[in-house]
Amino acid sequence: MSDNSVLNPWEELIQTCVLGTNRRQPQISAPGSLGALLTQIQAPSEEKLLMTLAATSVAIRVGQVPRRADTLPPAPPPVAESNQKICSTYALTLLNNVLTEQSKGSGAAGDSRKYSLLKHWLNCCRQAGQRIAPEYLSRLIEEARTIEIHRLIEECGGNHYKWLLDLNKTWKRKRNNTDIAAGTAAELVEQIELGDNEIRGGAFISLRHIDAEKARNCLLNIWEKESHEQRAVLTLSLKYGLSFADELFLEEYALNDKRKEVRQQAAKLLAKIPQSRLVARMEERAARYLSRGANNKLQINLPAELDKDMVRDGIEENINVDSRMGQKAGWLYQTVSAIDPAFWTTKFNLDAGRFLKLVLASDEWALPLTLAILNATAENQNHVFQDAIITCDEIHLTESNAGRSFLHSLPAEKLEQLISRRLPTWSQTDRRSAPRLDLWYYLELVDFQWSESFSFLIWQFIIKEIREKVPVFGHTFQSNAGNFGLRMHPSVGNYLPDLPLGQQEMDIYTRNALERFADNLRLRFEIQKSFQENN
């Protein structure tokens, strides 16, 4: 509540209820609607005070100030009936469990679990074409932290959702504050020009989503009077809606800035614009640095020193990527990272797989080139090189930041293809020892919803390993089992009775992990089933 007239009477009422009316009578002196209400109480009884406190608490919680009957505004219009069917009582019971039960895990882990389950419940409700019982909407609005959740509640809330927001300014403001594009373009321009730095940064991002050109022109108008720190922040925000139309500003203003931080942000963005002048310069450099020698290997010829043009284009003299890389390897890494890998297949007339073999065979240059190709493939979403990399067993993606960035850039179907290859094939006749198992580590690094076929594949592997004398679970699985249960396709819940948790040989850590995994999968399965049975 922002109404100061409410504060003093409210505190007075609480103190009287705590101390008792025998020891203290309320002294209501502040004006306002709550003060006027409480002054009507003459020698209040304990029961009357407690009832008043309870009623007032509820009123304040929903954003309404209690008033005398003769000052009440007209009643709000009735809610228009919705054609959507209200979800089942069982589905609402499961929703209540998600909202109220103690999360397994604490802090961020517990919050992440709750958010994942809430999102799953709302998606199931939306897909079933059903709606939430109106009495649950206020609790859901209180729980919403992102625009994604707000929009799901809006889709599943029927006419009651907008009706409630119109009645409660706090909820409406909360919803708008999570919306990246809240406010008109004119309002956002005013915030950018007159607001403090925190407000201006958010308003600029919102304006980029609404009207990228207007945002860029606004930035051009304020550029000269901005601090270098704020220039770096606003330049980075041009990544939203980035297009060739931004090239002129980035090339001629941001890339010529005196501060390195601004130039580096501009260079990163220009590298994402294939037609930019910076990309053309990087390709020209790379063509001079890399060639094919007489022995059909890559020949690397780097400049003796870093020149001013390289510095302007964002190439740092010393970069901390890998301790095994020297200074010049760092220059090569930065140059190749800024180029779409398709450039190399054209230059050397090779397909992506054969070019990767050339890179891996280039001795001391293999590391910087491999990391740079991973970065460039991720940034440019080059599907041909994605396919070549995920089928190349010589590249271990979990061992570098570039490899992890590449993993995060892959669509779900390619992640599943890659991780499926990490399932061990123990029966290979030419294998003398157990293969390296990094399956769980790959699954830990990438957060996505698993398809039904991939989920069943992982499920079969889990069942098989539980029955082995030496199962390959380990710390990574034990730490992430609950998350795996939140990502696995809910249909696998049909097979939960097959999970042999009663084996005496199983260690306590693995059993606890599998129980967390099963609990999350079971709840998601029950949520999905509750909507299917109500159709």
| Per-residue confidence (pLDDT) for residue 471, from 0 to 100 | 82
pLDDT band at 102 (very low <50, low <70, confident <90, very high): low
| Burial zone of 135 (CB within 10 Å; 0-12 exposed, 13-18 middle, 19+ buried) | exposed
> What is the arithmetic mean of pLDDT over 63-78?
62
Least confident interval from 292-301, 411-420, 516-525: 292-301
* Highest-confidence segment of 133-147, 190-204, 294-308, 366-380: 366-380
| Burial zone of 176 (CB within 10 Å; 0-12 exposed, 13-18 middle, 19+ buried) | middle
| Per-residue confidence (pLDDT) for residue 407, from 0 to 100 | 96
| Per-residue confidence (pLDDT) for residue 199, from 0 to 100 | 79
pLDDT band at 431 (very low <50, low <70, confident <90, very high): very low
pLDDT band at 430 (very low <50, low <70, confident <90, very high): very low
Whether residue 429 has pLDDT greater than 60: no
CA atoms within 13 A on the CB side of 171: 24
Q: Which domains does the chain have, with CATH numbers?
A: 4-71 (no CATH), 85-178 (no CATH), 185-270 (1.25.10), 275-410 (no CATH), 419-535 (no CATH)
Q: How far apart are CA 69 and CA 51, in angstroms?
A: 17
Between 45 and 260, the more confident residue is: 260
> What is the arithmetic mean of pLDDT over 188-217?
86
pTM of the model as a whole:
0.78
Whether residue 35 has pLDDT greater than 70: no
> What is the arithmetic mean of pLDDT over 206-232?
91
| Per-residue confidence (pLDDT) for residue 166, from 0 to 100 | 84
Give pLDDT tens digits for 351-407: 999 999 999 999 899 999 999 999 999 999 999 999 999 999 899 899 899 999 999
pLDDT band at 530 (very low <50, low <70, confident <90, very high): very high
| Per-residue confidence (pLDDT) for residue 428, from 0 to 100 | 42
Q: Which residues of 47-80 are buried (b: 16+ CB within 10 A; e: fewer)?
A: eebeebeeebeebbeeeeebeeeeeeeeeeeeee
Share of the chain above pLDDT 90, in %: 55
pLDDT band at 28 (very low <50, low <70, confident <90, very high): low
Per this entry, what is the length of the chain?
A: 535
Q: How far apart are CA 269 and CA 405, in angstroms?
A: 17
Strands (E), 146-296: 290-292
| Per-residue confidence (pLDDT) for residue 100, from 0 to 100 | 83
| Per-residue confidence (pLDDT) for residue 145, from 0 to 100 | 83
Residues 6+ apart with CB under 8 A from 117: 98, 486, 520, 523, 524, 527
Whether residue 105 has pLDDT greater than 50: no
Q: How far apart are CA 29 and CA 9, in angstroms?
A: 7
Least confident interval from 42-46, 82-86, 165-169, 388-392: 42-46
| Per-residue confidence (pLDDT) for residue 340, from 0 to 100 | 95
Mean pLDDT across the chain: 85
Give the bridge partners for 130, in sequence order.
85
How far apart, in Å, are the Cα atoms of 119 and each of 97, 164, 354, 531? 14, 21, 43, 14
Least confident interval from 198-202, 433-437, 447-451: 433-437
Between 457 and 503, the more confident residue is: 457
Whether residue 455 has pLDDT greater than 60: yes
Of the candidates 204, 312, 320, which has an alpha carbon nearest to the alpha carbon of residue 266? 312
Between 438 and 123, the more confident residue is: 123
Whether residue 327 has pLDDT greater than 70: yes
Least confident interval from 44-58, 83-97, 183-197: 44-58
Whether residue 522 has pLDDT greater than 60: yes
